[in-house]
Amino acid sequence: MNKILVCIKRVIDYNIKIRINSDESGVVTEGVKMSINPFDEIALEEALRIKESGKANEIIVVSIGSEDCQQQLRTGLAMGADRAILVEHQEQAEPLIVAKLLYEIVQQEKPELILLGKQAIDDDCSQTGQMLAELCSYAQATFISKLDIEGNVLTVTREVDQGLESLEIDLPAIVTTDLRLNEPRYVKLPDIMKAKKKPLDVMNSSEFNVSTDAFFKVIKVSAPPPRQSGIMLTNADEAFDALKTKGFFD
């Protein structure tokens, strides 16, 4: 395999408590620690392991977003990717817009394998990989927890509601990764310094013949209501009465 393309997204770090803007237009991002989407980081780790096993020659990380995404792309380079591509897009991009822009990069780079996380932790849409597969007319495998490559065939294990499902798909293919696939490596300081010398190409979404008009508009973002305190029950009769009071039984 010649190239693996890994798609990563800049999100608020999963350890940070989310706060809502005072005007309820969105969440607070200014001064907040940002990181690579954890599922995308797993995708990148898997790509690195494939290359280290001698089954790939080059790993490219790509991101769609503002100039600030260069920080996460540099982290990807420090982890071991060979080069990076940023498609600058200042507005909040919906999954279909992201998929269309990624499709343009796929047309340029012609990767045999595309890896990305099963979902982003900020919107939880879980749509981009599937949409990109349709645009590229590539085979796809989603929510994978195990991946093996033999020649031009991928054998994957998917996590589904009923348990685990095994599939074989041919390259080129698009794969979205689940949490149990691997544990991403720790980035060391020497690797961070080396990453500064690796190529990072910057493009603009306006360079592509892609409509970036939004299909929906966010009206209001609000925090969920606080959870009510629980009550202590000593026997089944009290539990039944409590459920009846809440209207679960007539």
Residues 68-106 pLDDT 10s: 999 999 999 999 999 999 999 988 888 999 999 999 999
Tell me phi and psi for residue 79, to 5 degrees.
-65, -30
State how far the Cα of 39 lies from the Cα of 88, in Å rounded to an integer.
Answer: 21
Query: Which single residue is written with the structure tokens 């999100």?
Result: 11
Tell which residue, 135, 175, 182, 132, has the closest CA to residue 156: 175
- Please provide residue 192's backbone torsions phi and psi, each rounded to the nearest 5 degrees: -65, -40
d(CA 250, CA 244): 6
User: Average pLDDT for residues 3-9, to the nearest whole number?
Assistant: 95
| For range 9-33, the mean pLDDT | 86
Confidence of residue 250 (pLDDT cuts 50, 70, 90): low
> What average pLDDT does the chain have?
91
Question: What pLDDT band is residue 27 in, cutting at 50, 70 and 90?
Answer: confident
Q: Which residues of 70-83 are buried (b: 16+ CB within 10 A; e: fewer)?
A: bebbbbbbbbbbbb
Residue 14 near residue 40, CB atoms below 8 Å: no
Question: What is the CATH T-level fold of the domain 3-245, as seen in this structure?
Answer: Rossmann fold (3.40.50)
Q: Cα 173 vs. chain centroid, distance in angstroms?
A: 17
What are the φ and ψ backbone dihedral angles of 170, each rounded to 5 degrees? -95, 150
Write out the H or E segment, with its range, that includes residue 9: none
Worst-scoring range by mean pLDDT, 150-159, 181-190, 225-234?
Answer: 225-234
% of the chain beyond a pLDDT of 70? 100
Q: Which residue has the higher pLDDT, 27 or 102?
A: 102
Task: Check if the beta carbon of residue 90 is closer than 8 Å to that of residue 14.
Answer: no
pLDDT in tens, 33-61: 999 999 999 999 999 999 999 999 999 99
Tell me what the mean pLDDT of segment 107-133 comes to.
93
**pLDDT (tens digit, 9 = 90+) per residue, 130-155?**
999 999 999 999 999 999 999 899 99
